[in-house]
Amino acid sequence: MRIQLGKILFMMINGLLVASLGWSQTLEGRFEFTSRVPREALVYFADDHSVSPQERVEVDQVNKHFTEKVIVGAKGSKILFKNSDEVQHNIFALNDKHNVNINLGLADPGQEKQEILSWPNESFVKISCIIHPRMRTWVASLESRYYKVLSFHKKQKEVNFQIANVPPEVIRLKVWMYNFLPIDLEIRPGESKEANVATSKKVYGKLFLKRN
C-alpha cells in the first residue's frame, strides 16, 4: 500500500513539475498510404514564430537534381544555390501570387548563386532550372523552428517521423503537400489525432499523430 501511494505521489509531483517548468514535448507521426503518394511534405507548428532571418540556407545541384525537395528559411534569409554538377544550371522561379520573379542566370560547375527569400511566412515557391525543366525544389518561408521535411517514394506505404522539443503551448499543426489538400489542426500534449491525406477528389491515406 505504501509502495503504491509512493508511486502515485511521484507521478503527481512529476506531472506538476512538467507543467510548471514548461518542459518540451515530442510529436510522433505516421503517414499510411493506400495508393497515390505525395513527393514531399512539410509538417510544422504554425503558431511558433521564434525564427528570425538566418544568414543563409543552402541547396546544391547534383546529377541534374536538387539535393533537397523542400528548403526552409525565414523571410529575409539568403538562399545559396550551389552547383556541384558537371553541367550548367539556371535557377528560375515565377510566382505571381507572391510577386516572385527569379532568374539567376547561368551557373557553371562549381559556381554559386544567391537570392533573398522575399515571400511571406507560410508560403511556398517552386524553384526550377530553365535548362533542365524536370528539376524542382520548393522554398518554404517559415518562422517556426518546429518542423519536419519528408521525402516520399512512390511505393512507400508507411512513413514515421518525430518533431522533438516542442513547447507545450505550441499546438497548431499544419501539413503542406504539393497537389494535396493542406492539413490544419490543433494537438495538445497527451492528445492523439488523425487526418486524411487527400486531394479534392479522393482520400489516399491517413496521418496519425500522437503528442507525448
Per residue in 104-155, pLDDT tens?
A: 999 999 999 999 999 999 999 999 999 999 999 999 999 999 999 999 999 9
- State the average pLDDT over residues 58-62: 97
Instruction: Reply yes or no on whether the pLDDT at 6 is more than 70.
Output: no
Per-residue pLDDT band at 23 (split at 50, 70, 90): low
Kindly give, in sequence order, each residue whose CB lies less than 8 Å from that of residue 113, ignoring residues fewer than 6 positions away: 80, 81, 83, 91, 104, 105, 107
Quick one: CA dihedral 93, 99, 105, 108, positive or negative? Answer: negative
What global pTM score does this model have?
0.86
Delimiting residues of CATH 2.60.40.420 domain(s) in the chain = 51-143
Kindly tell me if the per-residue pLDDT of 69 is higher than 90: yes
**CATH value of 51-143 in 3.10.20.600, 2.160.10.10, 2.60.40.420, 2.40.50.180:** 2.60.40.420
Strands 70-73 and 136-141: parallel
**DSSP-derived 3-state class of residue 11:** helix
- CATH number belonging to domain 23-48+145-212: 2.60.40
